[in-house]
Amino acid sequence: AIVVLFKHSRGRPSMIILETNCFCPMGEGNIRVFCRVRPLLPSDHAENLEHVQFPNDNGRESKVQRVFPPCSSQEVVFEDISLIVQSALDGYNVSIFAYGQTGSGKTYTMEGPHPLQDDTMGIIPRAVHQMFNSVVELKDKGWKYTFTASFLEIYNETIRDLLVDKTVKKEHKIKRPTSNAVHVTNRKYLNVETVEEVLSLIKIAKQNRATACTRMNESSSRSHSVFQLKIEGLSKKGNITSTLTLIDLVGSERIDKSESRDRLKETKAINCSLSNLGGVFIALANKDTFVPYRNSKLTYLLQNCLGGNSKTLMFVNISPKNSSFGESLNSLRFASKVNKCVIGTAVANRK
């Protein structure tokens, strides 16, 4: 998106103007960046959005829109990414993740509120519905698909399996036995055959995920969550393999705003991992010969998504509150860096 800053007399940004802009086509390899602004909530104690404007909105929502104003529904948001999700069934690795400060609506965008409902479900359940609905149609064309699901979180630089009971203590290590694969030891994989089975796993993962109450969010996610759906398709014409990776990043935050000093170690780990993520994007944008993927568990785990053979898209979520202006500005600056990254053209995994 185009970000224009109006400045007042002291030289500080006072307004963000978000305009729809045509990003590079899916096939050119850039990491796509979409922006979503959540609506004002009663708890925000605010009356207007004067400091955030959408001049190209015109009161209407468009299927080609890349900036989603507060009025955008979950359905409209998913319509704009449905084609990239669908390409996973054609053998392309697909990665979609949400970035933004605590309380900006990332988990709402990726999962939706619980219990899940048709109109409010987020990207992960909608993607699952699309996958299984498409498989029914492709079956008539001679294709047979199998799906394998896993769900991890990274909390304080430690990997946890969200599909395993919290009382079960297993060590998980990231290994890269070949140049094209990242493997997590002791990771639980489950074959899934229906939408209901996957939604049940999402519910289990949500219950197991690390959360806490902060001033910014009464149920703040304190970990990065990574949902993966491995896809294998067979037909007389050949076969495909791919992975759909959907990531809900933990929110960036300032301790003085979140009032989470009692969770200082946790907050430092959060901000450090996000800083390392930024370092990877800067290296990619600069086309450096060395990219510091191993500086954090998050970037090491997502190495293939960030710089490998994957179609990658990032949602930058921002809060409309005036008190969040600084964090929103930082998120948009981060998004601008990401949008400059070229990771090469994704190639379908077909044989």
Q: How far apart are CA 27 and CA 90, in angstroms?
A: 14
Q: How far apart are CA 181 and CA 151, in angstroms?
A: 17
Counts of helices then strands in the chain (DSSP H, E): 10, 16
Q: How far apart are CA 116 and CA 82, in angstroms?
A: 19
Task: Find out whether 178 is annotated in a ligand binding site.
Answer: no
User: Which of these, 153, 142, 132, lies nearest to 195 by C-alpha position?
Assistant: 132
Task: Find out whether 107 is annotated in a ligand binding site.
Answer: yes
Burial status of residue 84 (CB atoms within 10 A of its CB: 0-12, 13-18, 19 or more): buried
Task: Find out whether 279 is annotated in a ligand binding site.
Answer: no
Q: Which residues of 270-305 are buried (b: 16+ CB within 10 A; e: fewer)?
A: beebbebbbbbbbbbbeeeeebebebbbbbbbbbbb
Task: Find out whether 106 is annotated in a ligand binding site.
Answer: yes
- In sequence order, what are the residues at sequence separation of 6 or more whose Cβ sits closer than 8 angstroms to the Cβ of residue 155? 210, 222, 223, 224, 266, 269
Q: At what angle do helices 264-285 and 325-339 cross, to 10 degrees?
A: 40
Task: Find out whether 104 is annotated in a ligand binding site.
Answer: yes
Task: Find out whether 102 is annotated in a ligand binding site.
Answer: yes
Task: Find out whether 142 is annotated in a ligand binding site.
Answer: no
Task: Find out whether 194 is annotated in a ligand binding site.
Answer: no
Where is the binding site, in residues?
A: 100-107
Where is the binding site for ATP, in residues?
A: 100-107
